[in-house]
Chains A and B, each alone.
Chain A
Amino acid sequence: MDRQVHHGPAGWSQGDGAQVTAGRPPLSAGMSARTENEPANRPPAVRCEGLTKQYGSKRALDGLTLEVPQGRVVGVLGPNGAGKSTLFRVLAGLVQPDAGRVEVAGQLPGWRTNRQIAYLPDRARWYREHTVRDAFRYAEQFLLGFQPEQALELAAWMQLDLDLRAGDMSRGQEARLMLILCIARRVPVILLDEPFAGIDAVSRARITEGLVARIGGGETTVLVSTHELAEVEALFDHAVFLNAGRVLMQGPADELRRRGGSMQEIMQQLYV
């Protein structure tokens, strides 16, 4: 473990992500990515500097700079097109940025970080013929760090029948399966892109419960992008607000709550 090697070379600034758009200084003043209990010698779970990604004429990421401390549950928030999914794909090593630097768990994203990252893409699907049990067997063979016992516990907790075929599942049930396949892995970083999109209230509640069962303890950092804030915002201990491919505001969630109210209220203030 040569994690120290990656920590704090001169090129890394603490980021200007704590700044906010003109007109709202009270929300951002004094905000920083770290809190008082932060051990100084652990590398951040995610570190991006000046990330840029262009798709044709559209700039999906526009100089995005961000540092996420380890062990947090981070809400990655913003309107459609803010750059959330592109950021996740870059972190997962699926998209190469045009410019900028990125590290996940102290490494460049790529095939080597497969061991470090579990990524749930937007609208993920599974093999139609597989039952939940089949999917877990498959995952045990092919997904690094997959913990079958934890997956079974999560399935029981989230009320997902092990004999149900993916092809016969509702969207909500399939979303539960996809979430379990992702969070039952012992990895330092979990990326969940819209895990609640388009699914029923019961499944959203089950997914929230599954997440609570998995998080905490400081070992795993979870980044969640979602528009369904009501379900999940109490789980965030850190939040990042994106707009037009940049960080508009970020900070510890309780600090943001104190200054600007709930995540939902802050969204409304920021993106009017």
Chain B
Amino acid sequence: MRDDAVHERKVGPLTFRLDLSQPLYEQILEQMRAAIARGELPLGEKIPSVREMAQALRVNPNTVSHAYQELERDGLTETRRGQGTFVTAEPARVDQFRTAIAEQAVNEFVDRMQALGFGWNDIDRLLDERKAKGGA
């Protein structure tokens, strides 16, 4: 990856980092999901139209549209006819989604540790050490 392949673009309160050497659809989808999961896009908030988003990101509207369809399938957004697309108003939806992503991350982590031969005690110890270092 080269630095000149990474473009930073601001869209309202959001900042996107798009790496042209990776599929754009996935990057837009992941960054939208993260913005909703972290609450940067609040519940019930209107999100930019496909065209506005494409213009701000300077990417193909088809790519944005594809990512928006997936967000809707996630249950994170809903389209109201004639009004546009909104972040879901139900906190449970977002919580469910965050939990699912967190579980996936934990599973990947545990699989990886086990593949390296670490047991639960080792994992606990490593996590405690990591906690002691501080940060989030």
Contacts and interface: CB of A to CB of B under 8 A. Distances in A.
B61 A217 contact: yes
B59 A235 contact: yes
Contacts, number: 72
Contacts of A236: 60
Interface string B57-84: 1111111010000000000000000000
Contacts of B1: 261
B20 A262 contact: yes
A49 interface: no
B22 interface: yes
B2 interface: yes
Given A213-B55, A216-B50, A216-B51, A237 B62 contact: yes
A212 B55 contact: yes
B35 interface: no
A1 interface: no
26 contacts: A71-B62, A73-B60, A73-B62, A208-B58, A212-B58, A213-B51, A215-B61, A216-B50, A216-B60, A216-B61, A216-B62, A217-B62, A218-B62, A234-B24, A234-B59, A234-B60, A253-B24, A254-B25, A257-B21, A257-B22, A257-B23, A261-B21, A262-B2, A262-B20, A265-B5, A265-B21
The DSSP consensus for interface residues of chain B is: helix
Interface in B23-72: 23-26, 50-51, 54-55, 57-63, 65
A264 interface: yes
Nearest to B20: A262
Interface in A191-245: 208-209, 212-213, 215-218, 230, 233-237
Given A212-B60, A215-B60, A233-B20, 7 more contacts: A212-B55, A213-B51, A216-B51, A234-B20, A237-B63, A253-B24, A258-B23
A177 interface: no
Contacts of B60: 73, 212, 215-216, 234-237
Q: How large is the interface on A (under 10, 10 to 19, 20 to 34, 35 or more residues)?
A: 20 to 34
A19 to B, nearest CB: 22
A261 B19 CA distance: 9
Top 4 closest A-B pairs, CB basis?
A216-B61, A254-B23, A261-B21, A262-B20
Contacts of A209: 55, 58
A34 B58 CA distance: 24
A51 interface: no
Nearest to A213: B55
A92 interface: no
B85 to A, nearest CB: 15
B2 A265 contact: yes
A76 to B, nearest CB: 16
A61 interface: no
Contacts of B63: 237, 254
A262 B63 CA distance: 16
B94 interface: no
B87 interface: no
B70 to A, nearest CB: 12
Nearest to B7: A234
A236 B60 CA distance: 7
